[in-house]
Structure 1
Amino acid sequence: MVEAMEIDPPKGTSETWTEKYRPKTLNDVAHQEEVVTMLKGALTGKDLPHLLFYGPPGTGKTSAALAFCHELYPKNVFKDRVLELNASDERGISVVRNKISFFSKRAINQSENRLLNVKIVILDEVDAMTRDAQSAMRRVIEDCSKTTRFILICNYVSRLIAPIVSRCAKFRFKSLPAEVQIDRLRTICNSENTPLSEEDLKIVMKTSEGDLRRAVCTLQSLAPVLKNGDEKAKNSFLHPTNDSEIVKEIVSLLPSAKVPQVFEIVKRTAKSCSGVTFLRKVFDEFLEDDLINDDNIAIMGKLVAKCEKRILDGCDLQNNLLDFLLTLRSTFIN
């Protein structure tokens, strides 16, 4: 098991915990041995290719990239050598042509250290870029490879065009084991003087669905309640009942429900349900009740994946929930 790192958090209370406790060195990046070994090799003078980090959210992709850059460059030149962008916010072709291309072509002061003569562009959530922007990005990567290295970060490598993928060394970030997440959360709780029991930490980890960043955000949201010692509020936060009650109602009614009843359920629940997590809870409940079996599990799995993607892409939650439930209903009736 990976040991929890010793934390020396920076002073100040306005900083989010995800930034406050972000790994500062490559040794702090847990459970990603392959990429850490490669990055440490680059620090000692080995060649550094363009990199593509992909895998589930909250597994350390951005943290590994930033930790590497902080170890590579002194503080006094870091801002001149590293450009960090989030492609989900700046996804158009103009960003590639202006910000990225300008930074990549800009001259830098030479150094005796060969690696310090290379600039680095960290582009997060690159799978959110338009195809035109990705094509422009590919040209920038080709034209500026002598002076700039690109670290591209995404959740879904399948959304990238093949010419970009082929120009990068790919590293898949693995989901963090439960014990690693628990150790990390416990360390943060101890540092912030917000104690949680082992069972409560497991609940936070489970509801975050393997996303450690999301789990840390949950801890920060829960911190005021823990410091006030409000046990009732803590239990209400950790054990919400709304979703569970609604899921049980849907499972009992849906197989025989009329279409107007489905519309009524959606209208009543869409405003309060937890989106993607809610869809998975419905799926799991049908699975436990054997309403999803070997005959229809493939259809159900594709349905959940399709609706999840739509919601994550910003489509209307109510319409997707309606499509999800009506399709489930038709499966049972047929």
Structure 2
Amino acid sequence: MSFFGKQQSTSSKSKAAIAARQVPWVEKYRPESLDDVSSQEHAVSVLRRSLTSSNLPHMLFYGPPGTGKTSTVLALARELYGPELIKSRVLELNASDERGIAIVREKVKNFARIAVSNPSAAAKKQYPCPPYKLIILDEADSMTQDAQSALRRTMETYSRITRFCLICNYVTRIIDPLASRCSKFRFKSLDSESAVTRLNSICEAEGMRCEDGVVNAVLVAADGDLRKAITLLQSAAKLHGTVSPLKSADADQMDIDSSVVTVSSIDEISGRVPPEVIKELVNACVHGTGAGFERLQQAVQDVVLDGWTASQLVVQLHDELVFSDDLTASQKNKIVAAVSETDKHLLDGANEHLSLLDLMSSVSRALVPAL
């Protein structure tokens, strides 16, 4: 009897360990409280004061992706209601999936109009449990104009028992009547120091072994998006099968180089183009006029056949040329104009090969006068 009980307990623990390993790191390391949110001191301080008074306004969180907007409001909800009430008091919807007026008339309005029940004495003692619900609309800038107009009226009608939090990347896509009813919180990209600290703590917690420069390479590839940076780290860990360093006497005899995450593997996982490929394209542009056009054409064909995405090439070419100290302001203006036009064409579904060739020709014409 005791043997089977012990066996069942061990099996349960192993299943729990497997389940923990299968959780995406962005969820595993999502901030649990407002104190865990990094680099958003102003927003956290204001929300902390609102939490003290238990009187939240309608809120509008905006800023670049991966800066902690959704994590912050979920942490706020946990501190408001606790683990029991949060399931009945909080409705989270992604407006990019359900963005029409029907979602406002059905799900949002039906949830908003329901009066809240009294919390238990235990929950009331531990958490504020204010007498209103919270509706979180993620990607609210994807909602149609009609849906936003309908939401404005719903916010007014049920403000006594329901508060709204709109989350978006582009605040200009939220209609003014809706934005004026919300307290705005701008989320900025994480500073390098906070991002490095966060990523290093994750590497340490997961026992990852990384060569020097890996964390910085992850941050460059993620371009300020901490969610993307954490996902890249997890992908690298899976690729190399990293584990905690071995401490046994046989550790020195084992080949562990393959389990060390390298900068080159981060570039490969993120899809970044190697610097030498970018430099070859720039050199081809310098010699790409007149008889040298064949070299430029061949260079573009080579990068396309190698499978590099045109959008990533455009971004890295922009950074390579626009931040160069060797070009004049006039040349950079011409290059930026060509890059923006190519980026628009790619978004519209233009042919990648022809778009890149057109961009390289424009860059070549901008570079040649400097020679």
Same fold (TM over 0.5): yes
Q: Match for residue 242 of structure 2? A: 227
By how many angstroms is 1:227 displaced?
1.4
Q: Deviations over 1:103-156 (max 9, x none)?
A: 112232145978522111111121222222222222222222222111111111
Q: Is the deviation greater in 166-175 or in 294-303?
A: 294-303
By how many angstroms is 1:290 displaced?
5.4
Q: Is the 8 A contact 1:195 1:226 kept in 2?
A: no
By how many angstroms is 1:11 displaced?
6.0
Q: Match for residue 320 of structure 2? A: 285
By how many angstroms is 1:200 displaced?
1.5
CA–CA distance in structure 2, aligned partners of residues 48 and 310 of structure 1: 44
By how many angstroms is 1:32 displaced?
1.1
1:39 to 42, 47, 51: 47
Q: Does the C-alpha gap of structure 1 residues 327 and 145 become closer, same or farther in structure 2, counting only changes over 3 Å?
A: farther
Q: Match for residue 64 of structure 2? A: 56
Q: Does the C-alpha gap of structure 1 residues 163 and 188 become closer, same or farther in structure 2, counting only changes over 3 Å?
A: same
Q: Is the partner of 2:22 in helix, strand or coil?
A: coil
Q: Deviations over 1:257-295 (max 9, x none)?
A: 588987776665457335544322101222355575311
Query: Is 1:244 aligned to 2:275, yes or no?
Result: yes
CA–CA distance in structure 1, aligned partners of residues 351 and 261 of structure 2: 28
By how many angstroms is 1:181 displaced?
0.9
1:95 to 78, 84, 103: 103
Q: Is the partner of 1:64 in helix, strand or coil?
A: helix
2:198 to 184, 190, 193: 184
Q: State the AA in 2 paired with 1:201.
A: V
CA–CA distance in structure 1, aligned partners of residues 202 and 211 of structure 2: 13
Q: Deviations over 1:8-54 (max 9, x none)?
A: x9961221000000000011011211111121122222531111111
1:27 to 24, 27, 35: 35
CA–CA distance in structure 2, aligned partners of residues 159 and 302 of structure 1: 24
Q: Match for residue 83 of structure 2? A: 75
CA–CA distance in structure 2, aligned partners of residues 10 and 64 of structure 1: 28
Runs of 4+ in 1 over 6 A off after TM superposition: 258-264
Q: State the AA in 2 paired with 1:238.
A: I
Q: Is the deviation greater in 97-106 or in 213-222?
A: 97-106
Q: Does the C-alpha gap of structure 1 residues 81 and 275 become closer, same or farther in structure 2, counting only changes over 3 Å?
A: farther
Q: Is the deviation greater in 323-332 or in 170-179?
A: 323-332
Structure 2 unaligned spans of 5+: 1-16, 244-255
Q: Match for residue 16 of structure 1? A: 24
Q: Match for residue 4 of structure 1? A: none
Q: Deviations over 1:44-87 (max 9, x none)?
A: 22531111111122111111100000110122221111111222
Q: Is the 8 A contact 1:203 1:238 kept in 2?
A: yes
1:166 to 172, 180, 185: 180
Q: Identity of counterpart residues, as a percentage?
A: 38
1:208 to 211, 214, 222: 222
Q: Does the C-alpha gap of structure 1 residues 198 and 70 become closer, same or farther in structure 2, counting only changes over 3 Å?
A: farther
TM-score relative to the length of structure 1: 0.83
Q: Which has the larger radius of gyration?
A: 2
Query: Is 1:145 aligned to 2:159, yes or no?
Result: yes
CA–CA distance in structure 1, aligned partners of residues 104 and 140 of structure 2: 11
Q: Is the deviation greater in 302-311 or in 214-223?
A: 302-311
Q: Does the C-alpha gap of structure 1 residues 81 and 309 become closer, same or farther in structure 2, counting only changes over 3 Å?
A: farther
CA–CA distance in structure 2, aligned partners of residues 90 and 64 of structure 1: 22
CA–CA distance in structure 2, aligned partners of residues 76 and 231 of structure 1: 42
1:294 to 329, 339, 351: 329
Q: Is the deviation greater in 29-38 or in 85-94?
A: 85-94
By how many angstroms is 1:296 displaced?
4.2
CA–CA distance in structure 2, aligned partners of residues 132 and 264 of structure 1: 50
Q: Is the 8 A contact 1:59 1:173 kept in 2?
A: yes
TM-score relative to the length of structure 2: 0.75
Q: Is the partner of 1:150 in helix, strand or coil?
A: strand
Q: Is the 8 A contact 1:93 1:132 kept in 2?
A: yes
By how many angstroms is 1:333 displaced?
7.7
**RMSD in angstroms over aligned alpha carbons?**
3.3
Q: Is the deviation greater in 127-136 or in 168-177?
A: 127-136
